[in-house]
Amino acid sequence: MNKSTLPVKLLVFAGSTRKASFNRQLAHVAATMGRAAGAEVTLLDLADFDIPMYNADLESHGTPADVMKLKKIMFAHSAWIICSPEYNGSYTALLKNTIDWASSPVKSDPEWSSGSKAFVGKVVGLLSASPGALGGLRSQSHLVPLMLNLQCWVAPKAFALGRAGDAFDAQDDLKDEAQRKMVQAVVEQVLMASGRLAD
């Protein structure tokens, strides 16, 4: 079977561990759309990982097991959707800490000696949700250069969901069809680009 005919492996996660997080709800929507489009989807919950604040002294005693688990999951997926909350006009400390650990070289393991291994060539789509009118748009603007620096391909299409407190129904789906189409467009572009790069 040709590599490009295999289902795209899509990783979806939110930069929040808050149970009622709008971005976790949005990640659920994106994951459902990815599956409907034929992708092999992993909906990742960062709350399931025991990852401390990055500290080089701590790292010198060994990379935490859950960091290695996260690196391997990221590496295994060619396409990503990141749902980024906005704190103080930027992305969350949780998201930055996750990326810092995932991009840190593992000096004791030649396979992971390159910190960028889990990131290079990944097609990344950005979504965000916020109670405010801008929908977390500023978090995306800060996240784009970070992902480009890690040699990811960032999809041109993105969507920021404003007034998120009123956007979801009881099943965590978006009420508004126009908003659903905007999320769908990001998911479809990420899957399309990932499939093209695999050719």
**Residue 1 pLDDT level (bands cut at 50, 70, 90):** very low
Average pLDDT over residues 142-162: 98
**Residue 2 pLDDT level (bands cut at 50, 70, 90):** very low
Helix and strand counts by DSSP (H, E) for the chain: 6, 5
**Residue 71 pLDDT level (bands cut at 50, 70, 90):** very high
Kind of pairing, strands 79-83 and 153-161? unpaired
What pLDDT was estimated at residue 16? 97
d(CA 190, CA 184): 10
**Which whole-number Å values give the CA distances from 155 to 40, 135, 138, 165, 190, in the listed order?**
19, 18, 16, 26, 6
Structural domain boundaries in the chain: 3-198
Q: CATH assignment of 3-198?
A: 3.40.50.360
List of residues 6+ apart from 95 with CB closer than 8 A: 15, 82, 84, 85, 143
pLDDT digits (tens, 9 = 90+) for 113-141: 999 999 999 999 999 999 999 999 999 99
d(CA 63, CA 125): 28
pLDDT surpassing 80 at residue 15: yes
